[in-house]
Structure 1
Amino acid sequence: METFLGIDYPTWWYLVVGGLFSGYAILDGFDFGAGAWHLFLKDEKSRRIALNAVGPVWDGNEVWLVIGGGALFAGFPVVYATLFSAMYTPFMLFLLFIIFRAISIEFRGKEAMLWWRKTWDISYSVSSIMLAFLLGVVLGNVLQGFKISQDYTYEGAGFWEFINPYSIMTGVTTVFLFMMHGAIYLLLKTEGKLFVKLTYFLKRAMIFFMVAFGITTLYTLIYIPHLSDDFKASPVLFIVPLFTFLSIANVPRLASKRKFGWAFFFSALTISLSLVLVAIELYPVLLFSTIDPQFNIDVYNASASIKTLKIMMTIVAIGAPLVLAYTIFVYRTFWGKVKLDETSY
Structure 2
Amino acid sequence: MTTPEILMPAPMLASVITALDERFVLHRLWEQADPDIFLATVAPRIRGLAASTLAGRIDGSWFDRLPALEIVANFGVGYDNVDAGAAAARGIMVTNTPGVLDEEVADLTVGLLLATLRRIPQADRYVREGRWPIAPFPLSPTLRGRRIGILGLGAIGKAVARRLEAFGVPIAYHGRSRQAGVRYDYFDTPAALAAASDVLISIVPGGRTTRRLIDAEVLAALGAEGVLINVARGSVVDEAALVAALEAGTILGAGLDVFEDEPHVPEALRSMPNVVLLPHIGSASQRTRAAMGSLVAHNLTSWFESGRALTPVPETANMG
TM-score, scaled relative to structure 1: 0.29
TM-score, scaled relative to structure 2: 0.30
Higher strand proportion (structure 1 or 2):
2
